[in-house]
Structure 1
Amino acid sequence: MNVIAERIADFLKQYPPFNNLSIEELTIVATSIRVVNIEKHKTLFRINDVLHDSFYVVASGVINLSVISDAEETLLNKCVEGDVFGLRPFFAKNNYMMTAKAREESVVYAIPIDTFRPFVAKNAEVLNFLLESFANNSNNPEDRQNKGKLLSDHVVYTGGSQSEMQYFQSLTYNKMPLKSFVNTTVRDAAQLMTDNLMDNLIIVDNNHFPVGIVTDSDMRSKIATGRVPITATVDKIMAAPVLAVPENVSLAEAQLLILKYNVSHLCVTQDGSDKSEIKGIISEHDLIVAQASNPGVLIKEIKRSQDAKDLKKIRAKLSDMIQTSINKNIPLSHISNIAGEINLALIKRSVELAILDMGSPPARFAWLSIGSQGRKEQLLLTDQDSILVFEDVAPEKYRDVKDYFLKLAKRATSTLEKIGYPYCPNVHMASNILWCKSLSDWTKQYENWINTPGEKSNEISSIFFDYEIAFGEIKIEEAITDVIFRNASRGKLFFDYLGNDALRKPPPLSFFKKFNVEEEGANENKFDIKTRALMPLIDGARLFCLSLNIKGINNTYLRFKQLAMTDPRHSEIYLNCAEAFVILSKIRTVEGLKTESDGQFINLEELSKVDREKLKNALAPMKDLEELIKARFQLTQFS
């Protein structure tokens, strides 16, 4: 192997996927590589160009990847040393969907597809690396620290960066920034950055307040050019002052600041100013990584998905986003709203894929998510609940129409189960013959539940009164709502039934204010936060909204907020319940994410003293709610 090829091989083996190749394979790749020098602002390939016979690795410099959005060129990503891009020739026949342009004078290695393809075919790690990146527009799936990143040119830019959802979306960034002092020499700073594989160094004062930042770009433009000697101190080349942000900065806020001030990094500090301790550093690359999990982007990906496998990957991204958002203290009500929209989009696509398999439906219909999905409170992968309502058809067509929708529902619920939503243990699903029927049948069903409650108590479930349309005709959902509220207005027995059902839930605390925990079984000594804490609040909010004719609000938190306005005499109780619901939901979600479960059972021993007190305090409003239910509906706990 010649000296140049040897140097290229040494460079490549630092980065995936090349670190999965043997020395012999690396030698073959390195000797086939073409070195391409690209002048500043010159283009390697453009959108709609015919595909090249190579893909590329950045050897030095910076390559910008951009797309056209709303007639403007929009920067999607920056590729730096070790980044792989231009993968489209591997997996697609149509032309490039991005433009690759040098941000500065750059060198890239062109690796012939024909030379590299045999190693992909026989090396699962290399193939998975390239496939996962190309399919998901993800960065290096093997390395969350982004040391050697893989950047896809498959993505379709979706815009909408200033949407409400993205405004609150949180960021993952480096919480252990590299720091040094103003009297550090440039030579020492460069060595420090090299040793730690970092492209930036925060310069701090004696209080550890950030006063400046040095980046690779500063080293290239000020030191490599000879403008400043390597023996100088870093204050001669650092950018100052820094742009500081608080720890809970959102994606959109960070993007706006970077664009507005034309900087490449933001310093995260304790109070969001440069007069407090440095806590982290946000790079432009962090913003690109966050874009991949933008809720708007996820919904676009859902619409393009072709099977359950695609949808499962997107649901995993949602779980990551929920975890990150909770860590950043994003308001839970907002997280629930985002998660609810994405969950509904996943359900809708599951129904659409079933229709694509089976052909057009024989009648109009509505797929309604019920229970926690219908309330947009499903932050964890809990079981699916749904009903299907199809329009009334001629009697002779009824059986065939119902058969079609039952088959459709079985396909859709099967897809949802593969995504990660378990089948409902009580079979409250559209695939159950009981819960897939015509509008007239559903009208009778709701009328029976409301007018003769308890007659067939094993059939009634209050979750059927929490619903949200996921797919189909909105007028069918509206018809169900009209039936419910028309009958509920004269349904004293119904409210007695629901009220007593709410009061029957086992109390969360004992007479001596101790937590009531499970006494036996797999969850012995654990606290059932769902049954003892959340369900009484959910039941109470539903009961009062139905009795006060409040339509169109299914979410428990929003129901309590609306009740505070509709029934101002008891607003304090409702607002306290709203706050309690958020606290309890967060505790359950954190537990579920930690244990990869539905979070229903809390190990109190693992809670800190502060969290145990927070949990206990959140249970206090439930007593007031219980008394209000008894007074309003003239009930006792034993009626």
Structure 2
Amino acid sequence: MKNSIAERVGDFLEKYPPFDLIKPKKLLSIAENVSIIYLEKGDTLFKAGDSSQDHFYMVRDGAISLIHTANNTQELVSISDVGDIFGVRPLITKENYKLTASAHEESIVYAIPIQDFQEAAENNSKVYKYLITAFATNAYDSYSAEENKEIFVDYLPNNSQDLATFQTANYTKNPITCSVASTLQEAALKMSKNKIGCIIVVDNEKKPLGIITNSDIKNKIATGLYTITTSVSNVMSSPVITSKKGLTVADGQLQMIKNNIGHLCITKDGTVNTRLVGVLTHHDVLVSLGNIPSVILKEIKRANRTKKLRSARLKTNTLLKNYLEQNIPLSHIIKIISQINDAVTKRVVELSLQKMNSKPPVKFAWMALGSQGRGEQLLFTDQDNALVFEDVPEAKYEKTKEYFLELANHITKALNKIGFEYCDADMMGSNPEWCLSLTEWKQQFRNWILQPNEKAILLSSIFFDYNCVYGERSLVDELSDAIFDALENTSAFFKFMGSNAVKSPSPLSFFRQFVVEDHDEQKDLFNIKNRAMMPLIDAGRLLILSKHVKHLNNTGDRFEKLAAMEPENKELFESCSYAFKALLKFKTKQGLLHGNSGKYISLESLTKEEKLKLKRCFKPIHDVQETLKIRFDLKNFI
């Protein structure tokens, strides 16, 4: 008799990675043992600090929040949506959970038994590589990495050209060892002296007998199970898992996951019967896979021609595609791609300065505007930029401006060659209107703020999201101070901005159908940017400006800051942040798929689940627009 429930579970699993990489018969064996968990909104699945369980999870319906807690403060790290996996830590390490998982809304979750999964996915490197990535993103301590200014380790695609995965693994050649006659104290002193996390216990012929890690010391000594003077044989994990020289990164990954270990002993013939020659650690695997953003950034910094910068930026699109395919959280993706975009622009300015006949006459700053200014530019888009230069005496003004306009022309021309199209509205630093002295910029912004009209609001929506990419940051800071000083003296400007933020109707019609375009070229297409993303961008900008918060441009970050500032509206603002990231991710995927900006989407090409995901993002748009109407008294102003 067929198990219809298991078949339905299997049908769902096979739609998503890594289960789409598993053969149907084996996938059904997993599905037969999957537990189905129903969660009300707010229910907790596991908490930070809980012991690892014998399964990991996948979202069937709804959404699961992953929350980091520090100093009694909770911060939303990411939200796992339909088809996303999370709680992968038990597959990789025995450490406790680092994050808390709770239902963001009414949800159904599949609990996947680890043992059944491992048996079904045995020797499938693509499956395990995907899970390694999931672990490194969903369970990775991103907070520590941010503090250390590290770049998130990325992974390359699963194909025969994946050189990083199938290259020979680099391992530690001269591992620290101790004899089986040593005491734990002697072994620990060696570990401390050499600043290492493990030591290999060997016999007289240097054959590996066991391994001691920091976890062993914590679990067996600190708990009082053994004294510090006990023999290493009482504490070590034995037998060790071994492999021979020449193993690939993929082989190392497989053995570590299969045996639930973080260290692999390399011996002369690959068995415990020959001399130890090295140790491969989980860290070595990550390094071997390649810190691609670092490589790209180095390539950008060393580039001496626009052609090389274009090549480096094109690699970023491949990197972006791989990130999205492996479900890396968008917050990580945004930070990495934004850093690369800014590095490209900075190098373009440096190369453009080399083309000038003289050094800049005064200090200046190059500002990225729009999506790049917000740190949301994932695909190639048109340019939005501006230049501000230090005030000069009137007699020197024309010559100074002439210099910076020539420089700006070099910059925008190079950016265009790299792939960033010229702005159709000419909102670029090469336009005399947007290449101004600090005083001129201050007056420009003051006019927009104190004498608001439709054009001023349109320009403000672009120019208020700026970021200093190159040059004298103090000029940009002074400009920000002037903007907020002007905002203190007006309330009408906020009403104009509010009116602009709520003018876009709901992306759904009365009958909950998508509102599509009705003109020729885009007829029946859904404009995800204008109808879904821009209302959130405009709302986030208005609300954060009204709170007088400086230097916070990213839409997702703006809403998360608002959630912290207004606990009573935390749920709304967090939903807005999540919705915007989901929409940006969706737009980016569509752009990569069709080789365009992803702005216009053919609804016929979407699955039912994709349409449901989109519709889930629309409710926060309506809710935040209603909040704006009340907060800024827009009822009689619209």
- TM bucket (normalised to shorter chain) is 0.5 to 0.7
* Percent identity for Structure 1 against Structure 2: 39
Which of residues 169, 177, 180 is equivalent to 2:154? 169
C-alpha distance in 2 between matches for 1:305 and 1:245: 42
Per the alignment, residue 303 of structure 1 pairs with: 301
Residues 263 and 172 of structure 1, relative CA distance in 2, 3 Å threshold: farther
Q: Does 1:290 align with 2:293?
A: no
Partner amino acid for 1:543? L
- Which residue number corresponds to residue 564 of structure 1? 563
Equivalent AA in structure 1 for residue 343 of structure 2: A
Measured in 1, the distance between the counterparts of 2:511 and 2:455 equals 37
In the alignment, which of 327, 330, 334 is matched to residue 328 of structure 2? 330
Give SS of 1:388's match.
strand
Aligned to 2:424: 425
Shift of 1:199: 9.5
Cα distance, 1:523 vs structure 2: 1.8
Q: CA offsets, 1:201-252, max 9 Å, x none?
A: xxxxxxxxxxx99889589xxxxxxxxxxxxxxxxxx999921189xxxxxx
- Specify whether residues 286 and 595 from structure 1 end up closer, same or farther in structure 2 by C-alpha distance, changes over 3 A only: farther
1:356 & 1:540 partners in 2: Cα distance? 41
Instruction: Please say if residues 244 and 266 of structure 2, whose CA atoms lie closer than 8 Å, have aligned partners that are also in contact.
Output: no
Deviations 1:341-390 (A, max 9, x none): 11011111111111111031011011110100000000000111111000
Distance in 1 between residues matched to 2:298 and 2:445, nearest whole Å? 36
Q: 1:476 to 1:596 in 2, by over 3 A?
A: same
1:258-297 correspondence runs (5 A):
260-261=263-264, 288=288, 290-291=290-291, 294-297=292-295
Q: Who is 1:617 aligned against?
A: 616
Question: How far apart are residue 550 of structure 1 and its match?
Answer: 1.1
Residue aligned with 1:534, SS: helix
Counterpart mapping for 1:222-237 below 5 A:
none
Contact 2:368 2:385 in 1 (8 A): yes
Describe the shift of the 1:633–1:577 C-alpha distance in structure 2 as closer, same or farther (beyond 3 A).
same
Residue 301 (structure 1) shift: 1.6
SS at match of 2:378: coil
Taking the aligned partners of 1:218 and 1:290, their CA distance within structure 2 comes to: 17
Shift of 1:463: 1.3
Larger Rg: 1
Give the deviation of 1:298 after TM superposition: 1.7
Letter in 2 for 1:305: A
**Partners in 1 of 2:303 and 2:551 — Cα distance?**
30
In 2: Cα distance, 1:283 partner to 1:333 partner: 23
**Is the deviation greater in 282-291 or in 529-538?**
282-291
1:477 aligns with: 476
Cα 1:171–1:396 change in 2 (3 A) is same
Alpha-carbon spacing, 1:535–1:593, altered in 2? closer, same or farther (3 Å): same
Alignment of 1:64-143 (within 5 A): none
Instruction: Give distance in 1, aligned partners of 2:556 and 2:490.
Output: 25
On the 8 A contact 1:489/1:547 being kept in 2, the answer is no
Separation (CA, whole Å) in 2 of partners of 1:245 and 1:581: 38
Aligned counterparts of 2:544 and 2:168: Cα–Cα separation in 1: 56
TM-score, normalized by length of structure 1? Answer: 0.59
1:304 counterpart letter in structure 2: R
The DSSP-based 3-state class of the residue aligned with 1:244 is: helix
Partner AA of 1:290 in structure 2: G
Asked whether the equivalents of residues 507 and 531 of structure 2 are also in contact (C-alpha less than 8 Å), the reply is: yes
> 8 Å contact 1:527–1:602 — kept in the other structure?
yes
Report how far residue 297 of structure 1 moved.
2.3
Check the 8 A contact 1:366/1:473 in 2, yes or no: yes
Residue 174 of structure 1 and its aligned partner are, at CA, apart by 5.1
> Are the counterparts in 2 of residues 173 and 286 from structure 1 also a CA contact under 8 Å?
no
SS at match of 1:242: helix
Map of 1:318 onto structure 2: 316
Give the drift of 1:506: 3.8
Q: 1:604 to 1:350 in 2, by over 3 A?
A: same
Residue by residue over 1:15-56, the C-alpha shift from the partner in whole angstroms, topping out at 9 and shown as x without a partner, is: xxxxxxxxxxxxxxxxxxxxxxxxxxxxxxxxxxxxxxxxxx
Distance 1:172 1:162, change over 3 A: farther
Tell me the distance in 1 between the aligned counterparts of 2:390 and 2:537: 30
- 1:167 Cα deviation (Å)? 3.4
CA distance in 1, matches of 2:625, 2:247: 65
- The CA deviation at 1:525 is 1.2
Corresponding residue for 1:436? 435
Alignment check: 8 A CA contact 2:529 2:599 kept? yes
Aligned residue for 1:295, secondary structure, equals: helix
Which residue of 2 is the match for residue 231 of structure 1?
A: none
Q: Distance in 2 between matches of 1:176 and 1:423?
A: 35
- 1:325-364 equivalences under 5 Å are 325-358=323-356, 359-364=358-363
Counterparts of 1:434 and 1:176 in 2: how far apart (Å)?
49
Q: Deviations over 1:463-497 (max 9, x none)?
A: 11101100001100101110111111222111011
- State the distance in 2 between where 1:567 and 1:287 align: 41
The question of whether the paired residues in 1 share the 8 Å contact of 2:387 and 2:435 is answered with yes
Residue by residue, what CA displacement relative to the aligned partner does 1:60-90 show, whole Å, maximum 9, x if unpaired?
A: xxxxxxxxxxxxxxxxxxxxxxxxxxxxxxx
Normalization by structure 2: what TM-score?
0.59
8 A Cα contact 1:165 1:296, kept in partner: no
| 1:532 is aligned to 2:531 | yes
**For residue 94 of structure 1, what is the aligned residue in structure 2?**
none
Structure 1 residues 445, 170: CA separation in 2 closer, same or farther (over 3 Å shift)? same
Cα separation, 1, equivalents of 2:601 and 2:588: 10
How far, CA to CA, are the matches of 2:448 and 2:367 in structure 1? 18
Shift of 1:170: 2.7
Q: Deviations over 1:258-289 (max 9, x none)?
A: xx43569xxxxxxxxxxxxxxxxx99899656
Aligned-partner residue type, residue 244 of structure 1: I
Correspondence for 1:545: 544
- CA distance in 2 between counterparts of 1:334 and 1:597 reads 23
The one-letter code of the counterpart of 2:290 is: A
Residue of structure 1 equivalent to 2:256: 243
Letter in 1 for 2:475: I
Secondary structure at the counterpart of residue 468 of structure 2: strand
Any idea what the Cα deviations from partners look like across 1:531-560, whole Å, max 9, x if unmatched? 000000000000000001111110000000
Provide the C-alpha distance between the structure 1 equivalents of 2:258 and 2:425, rounded to a whole number of angstroms. Answer: 49
Find the counterpart in structure 1 of residue 494 from structure 2. 495
> 1:172 Cα deviation (Å)?
3.1
The amino acid that maps onto 2:342 is: L
In the alignment, which residue of structure 2 is the partner of 1:376?
375
Given that 2:168 and 2:247 are in contact with CA atoms closer than 8 Å, whether structure 1 keeps it comes out as no
Aligned length: 404
Alpha-carbon distance change, 579 to 263 in structure 1, aligned in 2, over 3 angstroms: farther
Structure-2 change in CA distance of 1:317 and 1:263 (3 Å): farther
State whether residues 368 and 468 of structure 1, in contact with CA within 8 Å, keep that contact through their aligned partners in structure 2.
Answer: yes
Per the TM alignment, residue 632 of structure 1 is displaced from its structure 2 partner at its CA by 0.5
Alpha-carbon distance change, 434 to 263 in structure 1, aligned in 2, over 3 angstroms = farther
Q: Distance in 2 between matches of 1:437 and 1:239?
A: 57
Inter-partner Cα distance in structure 2 for 1:550 and 1:162 = 22
Q: Does the 8 Å CA contact 1:172/1:286 hold for their aligned counterparts?
A: no
Does the Cα contact within 8 Å between 1:563 and 1:574 map onto a contact in 2? yes
Matches for 1:571-582 after TM superposition, within 5 Å = 571-582=570-581
Whether the 8 Å contact between 2:243 and 2:266 is mirrored in structure 1 is no
Q: CA deviation at 1:176?
A: 12
CA distance 1:283–1:595, change in 2 (3 Å): farther
Q: Which amino acid aligns with 2:617?
A: A
Tell me whether 319-328 or 499-508 shows the greater mean CA deviation.
Answer: 499-508
Question: In the TM superposition, what is the alpha-carbon distance from 1:576 to its structure 2 partner?
Answer: 0.5
Residues 110-150 of structure 1, C-alpha deviations (whole Å, 9 max, x = no match) = xxxxxxxxxxxxxxxxxxxxxxxxxxxxxxxxxxxxxxxxx
Deviation for aligned residue 1:520: 2.5
Q: For 1:417-437, what per-residue CA distance to the aligned partner results, in whole angstroms no more than 9, with x for missing partners?
A: 000011111111100110001
What's the CA shift for 1:519?
A: 1.5
1:601 matched to 2:600? The reply is: yes
User: CA RMSD, aligned part only?
Assistant: 3.4
Q: CA deviation at 1:409?
A: 0.3
Structure 1 residues 605 and 361: CA distance shift in structure 2, 3 A: same
